[in-house]
A and B are shown apart, each in its own frame.
Chain A
């Protein structure tokens, strides 16, 4: 087997050195009747070529985003990632290293985490950011738990504009932890009355902007009302590129900001791995979940970086820890931070403008199709359209025509009576030809 260096001779010599007759003597603690006598019922080993054949065959059954006009979003976005990013994250020293528990030989990881934290803090307009969560949805769950620790209250109010999967994640966690959740009903127009839900019993208000229907929300009045009642505002985003063009949640006085960072540096990957971004006001750092990287000096007085404030964490605090998270999204952070460094402020802002411009063009083009109504007054690179027919059916028909048109709201919110609504996203990857093809095909289908 190509991955196993020991030869039969090696094994024989080593068994002799250990002082046992056969390798099964080393498994003597497994109850005799439970030790498997034969290999399990799975195929035997395969060479590279054969493995490539099997997996390529599976891969080829999927339509990939780059191969068609592509407008699917709803929390994961197709962006162009520079070739440099994928090359660098595959360097052995990044790819095959561990969580930096031995900082003297992990400064590469630690320095990029420090740079990542600084970038995320700047983007979100917050004072501190951690070294990542699994993704935006689990990060939102952790943010709610953090707010409960800070406020010593146990009730979260969730906006009806929050991504339905995120709502489900928070509700699952809250139900299990016996915490209260007030989830507002789906708010297509972004005009819900969330302020009246906030009172002295509320720990946090969770609001997404742009929301899942694409509307850009004004967070300031929500922050103000929340703070008046001793509650925290948790601002969520699922499209981090929007922060290049929209005012930051920090500037609107959010207390915790959490979001999905996939758009920068990371592929769609059919849903994962992604990278959760998590930032907060610095007065709350001791209640934050996840790893934090901090600056210090070494024995020679040279600047260096270490994981810090670990007394919050499970390996020290066990059942009193702020979170159970251990492994996070190291390599996805690296992809994020490399792409963001390549963009820089100039590139990010331009990328955001292109995304917005393309979405505006698409919205205008779709508005001209009979049986299509664009519902949004505001949006960034994604918006909601109302179709004359059920959206799931339309999407399926368009897929047959080689166009991936968007996400039917019914896929996220079944039985909600929103069957004719479609979420449509447009990023820098879409061309005028893509838009024209979409419009032409839609005319045929509707």
Chain B
């Protein structure tokens, strides 16, 4: 018998996967219990000396009970977390085409820079005279962000994309209230294709969300927006490039229509990475846009954060930017930390301290490394890579808006899977077996069974060729006349866990470990 590399396998090896092991381990794939099952409360992996006896000043509020926190020695802890890490897929593992999430290469230089003691070991409230380098970095980052977006102001402090949205929408609300229209302008237009964070953000601060209907070309039409505009409309929250992977060709007309009607243009900048160095959102008429430093400027996603979501602001919104911000003074750079110290009209404060310094350093290291030329090239490569995938798959998969150029991500729907017995979810899970992280599934909501593929500029041509070949093989298998679709419906087979029962998790939530109940005596 020959394997797929054309080499003979040993006799009797068929079905060798079936041999169960005593431990449940499969060589490098180790079963790892919870720390609560292997740790002991009297073990510690940190050597500390007990302090000399003293009189506490806790006012009788001492803890008397046990906390029940298990400890592990250092070697045990190391092994535990290394084993956990081996159950994860990261960008460094393989192609991670998660549309809208921008899983590009995370340069380790940026990690090293963020750990420079002047940044990582500086306290947010130490005298600003002892943190001039930190303020200089913030000022430099702000300069880069404003230059790339063609805007005049930026608030750095938001902690993630959704927090940036909140900041931008608060600035808009403050501007509306300053004009005395707070009572009347309370509607925010949100296209149906938008990220869920957009309507959630608008609703959080009391706006009424009105959807802009989806069109069959994937674009938002200025005529549709105009129909919804009126004295009650505060803003639109429009993603551009949009979540269908398309640049909005009427964006300038939409901005003008909004401004003519006294409304503001909030741009969701989640997809800014497609146009960095190619177009400036400020030139397109935006009033506010958050930038996910963890997408466009490659600060690591870290399994769901931390991110950073600075918001650039148009001139008319800039007076309302929240505290803190960096200002130049005679004695150097200073931080404006209170509304009362600002000449402008800050709407308030988004967070304690000054935002995500650790992410600022990484993002600036990315920008310095790429330079103006490299950032433009990165956008072009990201767009080229996505279109290359589109070209490689458009004959087998279905494109909901026709075969036209996309930006940095390509959106397919599930029309091509109709009557095959295979769903978008099944297809995604089969990709796992092939060694890929699946694309974004079932988003945006405006197309059925969406598959949103974003390869980023970090992929080589040979990597894309293998990815396309793999998806073609899967697509042909999914649409073949054979009735056996178990390659999809039972997938994944080869991952650390098979498909997980999410319904069960939600029906009776188990959100923490509890000690197992004593096993009842069988005789009773």
Contact = CB atoms under 8 A, between A and B. Distances in A.
Give the size category of A's interface with B. 35 or more
Q: Nearest 9 CB-CB pairs, A to B?
A: A344-B71, A172-B348, A271-B353, A59-B118, A331-B302, A61-B133, A273-B306, A271-B124, A347-B44
Contacts of A123: 67, 69
Interface string A358-394: 1011010000000000001111100000000000000
Contact of A321 (B136, B200, B247): B200
Given A293-B511, A357-B52, A60 B354 contact: no
Given A64-B117, A273-B159, A356-B58, A135 B352 contact: yes
A21 interface: no
Given A99-B304, A172-B348, A302 B497 contact: yes
A345 B388 contact: no
A93 B197 contact: no
A143 to B, nearest CB: 14
A283 interface: no
B71 A343 contact: yes
Contact of B512 (A128, A260, A299, A376): A128
Contacts of A428: 48
29 contacts: A18-B388, A36-B277, A36-B280, A55-B361, A62-B117, A65-B126, A76-B125, A96-B300, A98-B304, A104-B432, A107-B496, A134-B160, A138-B350, A169-B348, A176-B205, A245-B56, A272-B124, A275-B306, A309-B506, A314-B195, A315-B195, A326-B160, A326-B195, A329-B304, A330-B303, A351-B46, A357-B54, A360-B55, A399-B129
B74 A342 contact: yes
Given A39-B376, A45-B374, A104 B496 contact: yes
Given A27-B383, A112-B81, A347-B45, A44 B121 contact: no
Contacts of A107: 84, 87-88, 496-497
Contacts of A340: 69
B85 A91 contact: yes
Contacts of A353: 50-51
Contacts of B25: none
Interface in B336-374: 337-338, 340-341, 347-359, 361, 364-365, 367-374
A105 B384 contact: no
Nearest to B140: A58
A106 B351 contact: no
B18 interface: no
Contacts of A66: 117, 121
A268 B69 contact: no
Contact of A42 (B48, B116, B148): B148
Contacts of A119: 69
Interface string A257-279: 00010000001111111010000
A348 interface: yes
A65 B113 contact: no
Contacts of A166: 352
SS class, residues of chain B in contact with chain A: loop
A31 interface: yes
A443 interface: no
A242 to B, nearest CB: 9
A129 B512 contact: yes
A108 B84 contact: yes
A118 B132 contact: no
Given A272-B159, A407-B125, A165 B301 contact: no
Interface stretch (B4-12, B90-98, B225-233): B90-98
B505 A251 contact: no
A122 B67 contact: yes
A324 interface: yes
Contacts of A132: 305
